[in-house]
Structure 1
Amino acid sequence: MPSATAPHSEASAVAGVIAMARYAGERHWVPATSGNFSVRIDDRFAAVTATGADKANLTEGEVIVAEIAGPKHARASAEAPLHLARYAADPSIGAIAHIHTLPATLLSRRHAGKGVLRLEGWELLKAFTGVTTHETVLDIPIVPNEQDTEHLAAHVEIRLKEAGPVPGYLIAGHGLYVWGATVKDAIRHMEAFDFILTAELSEENAK
């Protein structure tokens, strides 16, 4: 299926990855080299952060070009399959961010047994693409963490098909994945999730 997003040059895709990574790094969302970021180049390739890179200080040399449905890149991180599977499954996705905010990590553990984190009533839900009212209810999937990320990526895609349109998902005790049609969309979704999950955690803790 052809991509629904505008193709990037390799240079602009790499620049987008660096922009997301540094944005997250400035906000302490990617501690200790954690997190991963990617931008679709076209139907076949995506620019993705390389393994071991310090995302807060990411450089061009720490971004690789990986085949979406091809052999594993020698410098691909363990979490690259989770990015590439999303691009293969949804041609509307142009950028993906994986971050480790404290609220996302804590809530993913707290609600892991339910398999979802329900978000409703928050005004900032309207920051997510396609959401037009705070009365929206979003059930954000939570999947168990595992070391076999090829298997995890396949599991995630099954859960996302079952969930219907959502702007992201949680890995229990791990972190948050978000995406958007553009880098700007992905950044907006990161910021919206951080605010909403911080508010959700504070409200739960106050009960």
Structure 2
Amino acid sequence: MSLNRELEQLVAACHWIGGKGWAPATGGNMSIRQGEDFCLLSESGKDKGALTCDDFIQVEIATNRVPSGRKPSAETGLHTLIYRLFPDAGAVLHTHTVNATVLSRVEKSPALLLQGYEMQKTLAGQSSHLDAVSVAIFDNDQDIEALAARIARFAAQSPLRYGFLLRGHGLTCWGRDVNEARRHLEGLEFLFQCELQRRVLEAK
């Protein structure tokens, strides 16, 4: 698929995310890989439900350098980290949903374990509700470089798949292309909502 077509799909995904209220108040950021050396990342401060192809900025994956001098998202370093860690990652979506934000604070362990849900099969490589899906949770940090370094150290010891949560912040997920990243986002959000409601009901 051409880069222009992939970018159009990313813009459509952003409008879908905005319509669901998953990136409120210009929050969140999205990107696609542009060859081996660059990615195209959403510009800072833009309403994700109204993005156009012109609102994506070229960023060098190895250095976070922006050739145009425009201002990309604050979490640029997390997108480039994912592209460095996972050569097959073609798109990254970062959202600020209520389910992801609340669960990341309620769950005190370093990972959220999901098991017993048929919708786990929306995640690449998952074939049964009996398997456990582990979603890593990292403490939030305004120092993105330090946060990226912590995530990289974790990834060197334990596999990161599909995405991770930032405590009190939101979900970052990825896929081989926009469609897979979008499927992972929707699947994980459904699972987060189920898990959150299960915990509320069990606490009564």
Say whether the fold is shared (TM-score over 0.5). Answer: yes
Distance in structure 2 (CA, Å) of the matches to 1:165 and 1:34: 24
Q: Deviations over 1:100-142 (max 9, x none)?
A: 111110000111x311111111100000001111111012110
Deviation at 1:158, TM superposition (A): 2.1
| Residue in structure 1 matched with residue 151 of structure 2 by the alignment | 156
Distance in structure 1 (CA, Å) of the matches to 2:117 and 2:152: 26
| Residue in structure 1 matched with residue 58 of structure 2 by the alignment | 65
SS of alignment partner, residue 69 of structure 1: coil
Gap runs ≥5 in structure 2: none
SS of alignment partner, residue 109 of structure 2: coil
For normalisation by structure 2, the TM-score amounts to 0.92
- What letter corresponds to residue 78 of structure 1 in structure 2? A
Aligned residues: 199
Distance in structure 1 (CA, Å) of the matches to 2:189 and 2:81: 24
Contact 2:111 2:135 in 1 (8 A): yes
For normalisation by structure 1, the TM-score amounts to 0.91
Gap runs ≥5 in structure 1: 1-5
Q: 1:12 to 1:41 in 2, by over 3 A?
A: farther
SS of alignment partner, residue 132 of structure 1: coil
- What letter corresponds to residue 171 of structure 2 in structure 1? L
| Residue in structure 2 matched with residue 38 of structure 1 by the alignment | 31
Matched, 1:191 2:191: no
Matched, 1:175 2:166: no
Deviation at 1:165, TM superposition (A): 4.5
Distance in structure 2 (CA, Å) of the matches to 1:176 and 1:77: 15
Contact 1:17 1:49 in 2 (8 A): no
Alpha-carbon RMSD across the aligned residues, in angstroms, is 1.4
Matched, 1:26 2:19: yes
| Residue in structure 1 matched with residue 10 of structure 2 by the alignment | 17
| Residue in structure 1 matched with residue 74 of structure 2 by the alignment | 78
Matched, 1:99 2:95: yes
Distance in structure 1 (CA, Å) of the matches to 2:14 and 2:88: 21
Distance in structure 2 (CA, Å) of the matches to 1:140 and 1:128: 12
Give % identity. Answer: 34
| Residue in structure 2 matched with residue 116 of structure 1 by the alignment | 111
Deviation at 1:20, TM superposition (A): 2.1
Distance in structure 2 (CA, Å) of the matches to 1:162 and 1:26: 37
SS of alignment partner, residue 206 of structure 1: helix
Distance in structure 1 (CA, Å) of the matches to 2:64 and 2:193: 38
Distance in structure 2 (CA, Å) of the matches to 1:106 and 1:206: 15
| Residue in structure 2 matched with residue 140 of structure 1 by the alignment | 135
